[in-house]
Amino acid sequence: MTLPRPEVDIGRVMAGLEALARASDAEPPAVTRIVYTVADLAGRDQIKGLCADTGLAVREDPIGNTFARWDGSRPDLPAVGTGSHIDAIPHSGRFDGTVGVLGALEAIRALKRDGFRPERSIELILFTAEEPTRFGIGCLGSRALCGALTPEAMTALRDNDGRSLDEVRRDAGFTGDLADVRLREGSYAAFVELHIEQGPILEREGIPIGIVTAIAAPAAIRVTWEGEGGHAGAVLMPGRRDALCAAAEAVLAVEAAALSHGGADSVATTGVCRVHPGAINSIPDRVSLEIDIRDTGLGTRDRVVAAVRRAIDEIAGRRGVRARVEPLNADPPAAMAATVREAIRSACDALGLASRPMISRAYHDALFMARLAPTGMIFIPCRGGISHRPEESSEPGEIARGIAVLAMALARLAGAEGARPGQSIGCR
């Protein structure tokens, strides 16, 4: 069996990224594409159109996870999945997630051009709402696919305007029973996600490919502080129960918890602070904070979470305000599968590309796909390690190398038509 030599048409991929970036609610070069908005639906239409042009069979589930299948010679076998997300947080860049979607599509096109015929089907997945912007929970689509988010929990989700997921997804044209989102065990033989690193290591070390070994464990909590409002001029300082002052202490306590109770990999961030009533002449009576805490070790992560909770109780008691803590999620870390890592590594070897093992500190849909199938991730460098900002950037050459590695890894995992069982690609 010969090893495919996929020729990546990077011009087409960059044009696709450019076009997708225009489906946005922000002024270029910034991108804002929140799930189920007009911009998100326009972006999805672009991807579905490209998939159809490539001869892939497209279907959508009741929350808009989108699957585009290239049938293998043995469609009865579990498919090999690949893909990522196209939603983008407010005022971010054009490469996060999108490289993994348009890159997967180009990997399939390149394999087709090369005359490769897979034994297992290869399926591109566009996951709904990887970003937590609208519903406060990250990886909404992949979480639901693997059953980590139940239909009941989905029904309870509300967006920042108080609208239910069920209402908003129906308005966006996604109907059907939420119970049908969950995939059955064994739907995929393997899953591979291509993504920009969102960190500085590959660029700094001049290494084109990162092979992810594990994805760090994220936890998120929302803390609602309730004090007592009043006229900013009339209520004297003694006896005030200012909800924002309590929350401000908590923000610093979050930082201190990561520094004093965590390890070298612990990070803790308060990224959201909503103040009610939000008037200059009114004492804040209600404040909501959203706090994100991560580590590659579950024990260390949970130690930081516990320290944050203790600090919240102490601040609330001392200041006479109420603090209600709601866990938003607390996911375990995911190890990447040896078989998929090996497929990626041998693709790098065949292409003469240096690679290094690395940990993903950001979470990705692969975190949840790892519960359904042996999973791996390919990282490519991004300039300055910058992500979630308009300046986010990867060079065409870097993206092309990532796609070539993805294409060869997919070919190896899917097997070639007519190959002996278990025979792998990579032995040209």
Smallest gap from Cβ 419 to Zn ion, in A, equals: 33
Alpha-carbon span 197 to 380, nearest angstrom: 6
Smallest gap from Cβ 410 to Zn ion, in A, equals: 19
Smallest gap from Cβ 31 to Zn ion, in A, equals: 12
* Closer by beta carbon to Zn ion, 197 or else 242: 197
* Closer by beta carbon to Zn ion, 146 or else 253: 146
Rama region for 354: left / alpha / beta (φ>0; ψ in -120 to 50; rest): beta
For 385, the token pair is 């390690």
**Taking contact as CB under 5 A, which single stretch among the options 10-18, 88-96, 319-327, 374-382 is the one that binds Zn ion?**
88-96
Smallest gap from Cβ 368 to Zn ion, in A, equals: 13
Smallest gap from Cβ 62 to Zn ion, in A, equals: 23
- Residue 1 burial (CB count, 10 A): 16
Among 61, 96, 193, 203, binds Zn ion (CB under 5 A): 96
- The reply to whether omega before 238 is within 30° of 0 (cis) is no
Q: Site for Zn ion (CB under 5 A): how many residues? A: 2
* Closer by beta carbon to Zn ion, 116 or else 127: 127
For 391, the token pair is 């300046």
Residue carrying the six token digits 């579905």: 48
* Closer by beta carbon to Zn ion, 96 or else 166: 96
**Taking contact as CB under 5 A, which single stretch among the options 91-99, 202-210, 307-315, 348-356 is the one that binds Zn ion?**
91-99
**Taking contact as CB under 5 A, which single stretch among the options 13-21, 47-55, 94-102, 397-405 is the one that binds Zn ion?**
94-102
Alpha-carbon span 29 to 379, nearest angstrom: 23
For 412, the token pair is 């190896």
* SS3 of residue 357 by DSSP: strand
Residue carrying the six token digits 């997708």: 20
* Closer by beta carbon to Zn ion, 93 or else 97: 97
* Closer by beta carbon to Zn ion, 129 or else 246: 129
Provide the CA 120 distance to its chain's centre, in angstroms.
26
Smallest gap from Cβ 23 to Zn ion, in A, equals: 16
For 208, the token pair is 């084109």
- Residue 174 burial (CB count, 10 A): 21
Q: Which residues lie below 8 Å from residue 125, measured CB to CB, with a gap of 6+?
A: 65, 66, 67, 68, 81, 82, 83, 365
Are the CB atoms for 102 and 20 separated by under 8 Å?
A: yes
Q: Which residues lie below 8 Å from residue 233, measured CB to CB, with a gap of 6+?
A: 281
DSSP string, 305-317: HHHHHHHHHHHHH
Smallest gap from Cβ 86 to Zn ion, in A, equals: 9
Alpha-carbon span 422 to 194, nearest angstrom: 25
β-pairing, 188-196 vs 322-330, is unpaired
* Closer by beta carbon to Zn ion, 200 or else 230: 200
Smallest gap from Cβ 140 to Zn ion, in A, equals: 13
Alpha-carbon span 195 to 216, nearest angstrom: 15
- Note whether 97 binds Zn ion by CB under 5 A: yes
Smallest gap from Cβ 197 to Zn ion, in A, equals: 11
**Taking contact as CB under 5 A, which single stretch among the options 95-103, 210-218, 274-282, 300-308 is the one that binds Zn ion?**
95-103
* Closer by beta carbon to Zn ion, 97 or else 390: 97
* Closer by beta carbon to Zn ion, 62 or else 97: 97
* Closer by beta carbon to Zn ion, 247 or else 406: 406
Q: Which residues lie below 8 Å from residue 319, measured CB to CB, with a gap of 6+?
A: 227, 241, 242, 245, 246, 249
Q: Half-sphere exposure of residue 98, counting CA atoms within 13 Å on the CB side?
A: 34
**Taking contact as CB under 5 A, which single stretch among the options 10-18, 89-97, 213-221, 296-304 is the one that binds Zn ion?**
89-97
Nearest residue to Zn ion on Cβ basis: 97
- Residue 387 burial (CB count, 10 A): 22
* Closer by beta carbon to Zn ion, 313 or else 391: 391
Smallest gap from Cβ 352 to Zn ion, in A, equals: 28
Smallest gap from Cβ 260 to Zn ion, in A, equals: 30
The footprint of Zn ion (CB under 5 A) covers: 96-97
